[in-house]
């Protein structure tokens, strides 16, 4: 394991590079099928699909200045993970970036393609991020405040991964809910 400090990770070897099964089901559809999702470290050839996903979420996330350069840096630091489906061509469906060091880390960015939301892909990505952070470190994530589009789904996801609400902060027009996961 590289790029995350000297402490033992929480179990990335059991998550990254392995296949996760997510239930593929659309409301109103009586058929259900399992979809395989592979979580791996992001590569530089993931830039194009990742930037496409970033464009998709701008209406929800707001402007993301310098996203391209941040993504390139996180890939080089091995702090960016991708979710791909088993659709035959390695279809990119989501990504997560982490940051921090020592005893304090953060999930900096998480998004899943709209066609693959609420299928377990986001949870698989969050769990891969958690697994790559030293066990004795706290992890925070800043996300949408109650009443904002996406807030309910974000709250459910992060709380299901062991995060608890930890206050609201504002900077200019940006207001975010912080969630914290203690070691």
| DSSP annotation string for the chain | --SS-SSPBSSGGGTTTSEEEEEE--TT----EEEEEEEEE--GGGHHHHHHHHHHHHHHH---TTHHHHHHHHHHTT-EEEEEESSSS--EEEEEEEEEETTEEEEEEEEE-GGGTTTTHHHHHHHHHHHTSBTT-EEEEEEPPTTSTTHHHHHHHHHHTT-EEEEEEEETTEEEEEEEE--
Domains of the chain, by residue range, sit at 12-134
Q: What's residue 147's pLDDT?
A: 84
Mean pLDDT of the chain: 81
Q: Contact 32/82 with Cβ under 8 angstroms?
A: no
% pLDDT > 90, the chain: 50
- 165 pLDDT band (50/70/90 cuts)? very high
Q: Report the share of the chain in percent with pLDDT over 70.
A: 78
CATH classification (class only), 12-134: alpha beta
More confidently predicted of 66 and 1: 66
pLDDT digits (tens, 9 = 90+) for 138-157: 999 999 888 888 888 889 99
The pLDDT of residue 35:
65
Considering only residues 117 and 103, tell me which one the structure prediction assigns the higher pLDDT.
Answer: 103
Most confident of 5-14, 80-89, 96-105, 169-178: 96-105
d(CA 51, CA 57): 10
Please state which of the ranges 27-36, 116-125, 127-136, 168-177 shows the lowest mean pLDDT.
Answer: 27-36
Give pLDDT tens digits for 54-87.
999 988 888 888 999 999 999 999 999 999 886 5
């Amino acid at each position: 394991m590289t790029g995350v400090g000297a402490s033992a990770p929480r179990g990335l070897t059991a998550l990254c590079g392995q296949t996760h099964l997510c239930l593929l089901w659309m409301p109103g559809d009586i058929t259900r099928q399992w979809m395989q999702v592979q979580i791996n470290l992001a590569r530089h050839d993931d830039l194009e699909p990742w930037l496409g996903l970033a464009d998709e979420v701008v209406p929800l996330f707001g402007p993301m200045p310098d996203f391209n350069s941040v993504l390139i840096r996180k890939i080089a630091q091995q702090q960016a993970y991708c979710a791909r489906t088993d659709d035959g061509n390695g279809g990119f469906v989501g990504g997560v970036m982490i940051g921090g060091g020592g005893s304090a880390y953060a999930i900096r960015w998480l998004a899943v393609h709209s066609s693959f939301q609420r299928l377990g892909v986001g949870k698989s990505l969050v769990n891969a991020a958690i697994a790559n952070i030293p066990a004795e470190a706290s992890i925070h994530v800043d996300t949408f405040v109650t009443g904002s589009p996406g807030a309910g789904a974000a709250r459910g996801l992060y709380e299901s991964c062991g995060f608890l609400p930890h206050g609201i902060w504002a900077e200019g027009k940006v207001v975010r809910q912080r969630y914290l996961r203690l070691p």
